[in-house]
Structure 1
Amino acid sequence: MPANPKYLTPAFLPRFLKITAAILGGYFVAVSFHLALAAWFNRANVLMTMAYSGFMLWVALMVIAFLAKSAWKIWGIYILLTLVFCLFIYLGQTYHPTAK
């Protein structure tokens, strides 16, 4: 049974943006989140945990990207989250440099 055409995205750009948001944007958010945690907590424990929880978070962010209505909005959210986590990384390294 073929897919219903009303549920398919006919344009190339929104489809491309959703795919790149799912793969790249989700990866950037997942990694920056775990690096922000590593800047504040025990770095070795967080980075070892990242091997598993980072992958699960990345997959969840991929699913969210494909469920979103607007590809531009999901890219904006992912970029904003990445920048917020980068701010936490900066603050963690500046005010809590002894996280080992």
Structure 2
Amino acid sequence: MPANQKYLTTSIGQRVAKLTSGIIGGYILASLIHIIIAQLVAEPKIVIATSMYSIFLVWMVLLLLPFLFKNGWKALLWYVLLIVMCSVLVYLLKI
């Protein structure tokens, strides 16, 4: 059964924004989350060892989230804001 046309995105820019935020932004955000966790725990080697598997699981969820937004640019904006916030947090935790 084909998809209903009114639910499909017709703009190529919207598709690119959703794909970019999902693939690239999701991976960066998943990595930053694991870096923050590694800085907060007493044994960061354990987090680094298990992050090989858990980054993939978190990335799968973050890959699907932009497709729940109606506007791809808003999804991209949220991901960029979250990446900046996590990057600042990583910087502040290193100090």
TM more than 0.5:
yes
Per-residue CA deviations over 1:11-66 (Å, capped at 9, x if unaligned) read 11001111111101111110111112222222211111211221111100111111
Per-residue deviation, 1:78: 0.9
Residue ranges of structure 1 left out of the alignment (5+ in a row): 95-100
Q: How does 1:5-84 map to 2 (within 5 A)?
A: 5-41=5-41, 42-84=43-85
Structure 1 segments of 4+ aligned residues over 3 angstroms from their partners? none
Per-residue CA deviations over 1:63-87 (Å, capped at 9, x if unaligned) read 1111111111111111111111111
Residue ranges of structure 2 left out of the alignment (5+ in a row): none
Identical pairs, percent: 37
Inter-partner Cα distance in structure 1 for 2:49 and 2:77? 29
Q: Which secondary structure does the structure 2 equivalent of 1:69 belong to?
A: coil
TM-score for both structures, normalised by structure 2: 0.89
Inter-partner Cα distance in structure 2 for 1:34 and 1:3? 37
Inter-partner Cα distance in structure 1 for 2:87 and 2:80? 10
Inter-partner Cα distance in structure 1 for 2:47 and 2:25? 21
